[in-house]
Structure 1
Amino acid sequence: MTSLEKPTEDDTAHDSRAVTEAALFEAFGGVRGMVETVLPGLLFVSIFTINKNLHQSAIAALVVSLLLVAVRLVRRDTVKHAFSGVFGVAFGVVFAMMTGNAKDFYLPGMLYTLGLALAYIVTTLAGVPLIGLMLGPVFKENLSWRTRNPGRKKAYAKASWAWGLILLAKCAVLFPLYWWADTTQLGWVLIALKIPPFLLAVWLTWVFLAKAPAPIDVFAEMEAQEAEEKAREQAARGESAS
């Protein structure tokens, strides 16, 4: 191999960033996942703003969530993000219908956000940052970063802190509004806070991981180990036959 054919440090760094971007895109659903997250809530608050009809707003949000899942099923795409949206909307519809308070449509999602923020912080304090648990399989490193890649564990911890604090800040805005604002005000603020905090957290995760050591591909290691064992077995059989 000539010097021209050898990968440079810039090429390696670029490849690492590209792999990180692809993994984050897969893990968090990309643009389509964001649309599926925002659309049901946007439809609910839009209809409720116009006619103040809880039932029509809730049913419309649930129907569009189911349609998004159906489209993914027809296209044979990954449905985890669309399904999570359906469950979130369904819980919101049940809460709102049971209490008769349209603001309760948003309550399950707000509680989920608070719980997720605490999960990011608690798991990081426990030494197993949630972002690492989520992205480890995507990067084919599983939990190898915990004991074999301290630089990567540190990056996951920073990213989990970022997610936890950003989501806590979001909750600090939304919960007072739940008590003091009306349904339309809460709904529009919630829609406005759907994407920007998410994008900030994803961007910070990308920054931390792009600067971290490369992941250890444990699947490739296992395959190499299996190939080595097969080679030893074949060699042993050859010696026995001779």
Structure 2
Amino acid sequence: MADKKRTGLSALADAGNNDAGDFSVIDAIGGPRGVVESMLPGVVFVVLFVATSNLNLTIAVSAVLAIVQVLVRLIQRQSVMGAVSGLIAVGICLVWAWQTHEARNYYIFGFITNAAYAVLLTVSLIARVPGLGLVVEFIRSLPTEQFKAWFADWMNDKSLKRAYMIITGLWTGLFVLRLLVQVPLYVTNHVAALGVTRLLMGIPFWALAIWVSYLIIATPMHRHKALARKDNNNDAS
């Protein structure tokens, strides 16, 4: 049985094990199906609302679509974690729009999450403990014990830490850029433009960020892993 391909930051955690030609951005963002499932609710929401101006109909169709995606995965006995998390996020957005009777409020949850990520990553940069490094290293080698040794292992590798600082800054810039572009469209109530911009700055920007991050961290991570293996072999002998 083939190993399940890891996605998102989990794919970056394997960066040191892959050659540049082995890394697939499409796989890292969930494959073609994952891309479609991620974008479809947003596409349906903005298209249907622009076409009908009927918020209740738009919310109902979008909700049914999100539920159907989860049910299809259940029927096919596939992993539903990603679909369920997407369903919860879409559900929050739809409830927000329904309760306020404003279509533009469908996008507020995205603003909140982008702002939260931007703040957390900025704090990590100021503290000189790169947030993306923490997440990737946590995924790569879960520190069930000897946390200090785990932390020092990658933080004391200057080239690896530098790479993590760079990609943390990159992702911070991505979240901030989304807010700078999209919030003015929200304030001026340009729902269609906001929806299209949200889609363009969603999966495409995420794919670009993952690819650039891989290019930045792959070499220092590979060197770090090779050095660790060498040290382990020396200890064993």
- What range is the shorter-chain TM-score in? 0.7 to 0.9
- Whole-angstrom distance in 2 between the partners of 1:76 and 1:117: 36
The 3-state SS of whatever aligns with 1:106 is: helix
1:128-167 paired onto structure 2 within 5 Å? 128-140=129-141, 143-144=150-151, 145-167=153-175
TM-score normalised by the chain length of structure 1: 0.73
Deviation at 1:166, TM superposition (A): 1.5
Which residue in 2 is equivalent to 1:53? Answer: 54
> 17-26 or 29-38, which moves further after superposition?
17-26
Q: Which has the higher contact order (CA 8 A, sep 6+)?
A: 2
Are 1:213 and 2:214 an aligned pair? no
Assess, with a 3 A threshold, how the Cα gap between structure 1 residues 207 and 114 changes in structure 2: closer, same or farther.
same
Assess, with a 3 A threshold, how the Cα gap between structure 1 residues 169 and 126 changes in structure 2: closer, same or farther.
same
Structure 1 stretches of 5 or more lacking a match? 1-12, 229-242
Which whole-Å deviations, capped at 9, do the CAs of 1:104-155 have from their partners, x for residues lacking one?
Answer: 0111112212212222222232233222233224433755554453322221
Larger radius of gyration: 1
Which residue in 1 is equivalent to 2:3? Answer: none
**Contact 1:20 1:206 survives alignment (8 Å):** no
**Contact 1:141 1:216 survives alignment (8 Å):** no
Which residue in 1 is equivalent to 2:23? Answer: 21
Deviation at 1:170, TM superposition (A): 1.3
Which residue in 2 is equivalent to 1:96? Answer: 97
- Give the paired residue count: 210
TM-score normalised by the chain length of structure 2: 0.74
Which residue in 1 is equivalent to 2:202? Answer: 194
**Contact 2:104 2:189 survives alignment (8 Å):** no
Which residue in 2 is equivalent to 1:232? Answer: none
1:77-92 paired onto structure 2 within 5 Å? 77-92=78-93
Letter in 1 for 2:126: L
- Whole-angstrom distance in 2 between the partners of 1:123 and 1:14: 23
Q: Between the two proteins, what is the percent identity of the paired residues? A: 27
**Contact 2:115 2:179 survives alignment (8 Å):** yes
Assess, with a 3 A threshold, how the Cα gap between structure 1 residues 50 and 23 changes in structure 2: closer, same or farther.
closer
Letter in 1 for 2:123: V
